[in-house]
Amino acid sequence: MNEDLSREYQAIIAYVVYSQVLKGAEYMNIADQLEQHAHRELQHALIISRQIDYLGKLPSVTPKPVKVSEKPRDMLKFDLDNENETIVNCPERIRQCELLGEFAMAEQIREILVQEQDHQIDLATALGEDVRRNVSRLRANGARKSKR
C-alpha cells in the first residue's frame, strides 16, 4: 500500500504543477479539472495513509517521480499513464484486503478506483485516446512480468 501512497503523492504533485503551467485556450478547462483532481488525490492519500497506519505500518513520505515537459500534451500523457498504472493496481489491492478480511478497506479502495477511472476518462478524452485499450495493454504487460 505504500507504493499506492507514493503514487498518490506523485499525482498530487503532477496535478498541482500541470494545472498551473498548462497554457492556451484549449487547455483552460483541462487545467481547472486537474486542479480539482489534485484535491481528490489528496483525499486518496489521506485514506491510504490511514489504512497503512491501521495495518501497523508507517506511511511512506516519498512520491514516485513526476515527469514534466514544456509540451502540454506530453504532461497530459504522463498523467494518463500514471492513472492507468493506478487503475491496473487497484483490483489486486482490493483482493489483498479481502483476503485479510478487511472488507471496509477494500470498499474504500473501490471508491478510489471509481474516482481514478473518472480522472482517466477525462485525460483520455482530452488526448483522444482509447482508455480500455491502454489498460488492457498494461494488464497484459503486468501478467507477463508476474510470470517471470
pLDDT digit string (tens) for 91-124? Answer: 999 999 999 999 999 999 999 999 999 999 989 9
Residue 148 has a pLDDT of 46
What's the pLDDT at 138?
Answer: 62
Which single residue is written with the C-alpha cell 501512497?
A: 5
* Assigned CATH for 2-147: 1.20.1260.10
**pLDDT, tens digit, for every residue of 127-145?**
998 877 666 666 566 544 5
Identify the pLDDT of residue 135. Answer: 62
pLDDT tens digits for 2-36?
999 999 999 999 999 999 999 888 888 899 999 99
For residue 131, what pLDDT is reported?
Answer: 75
* Upper half-sphere CA count for residue 116 (Cβ side, 13 Å): 30
| Region label for 31, one of left (φ > 0), alpha (ψ between -120 and 50) or beta (otherwise) | alpha
What lies within 8 Å, CB to CB, of 96 at 6+ separation is: none
* Cα 118-13-119 angle, rounded to 5 deg: 5
Tell me the pLDDT tens digit for each residue of 65-97.
Answer: 999 999 999 999 999 999 999 999 999 999 999
Residue with cell 472488507: 103
Looking at per-residue pLDDT, the higher value among 48 and 136 belongs to 48
pLDDT > 70: what percent of the chain?
A: 89
Q: The cell 478497506 sits on which residue? A: 105
pLDDT at residue 23, rounded to an integer? 86
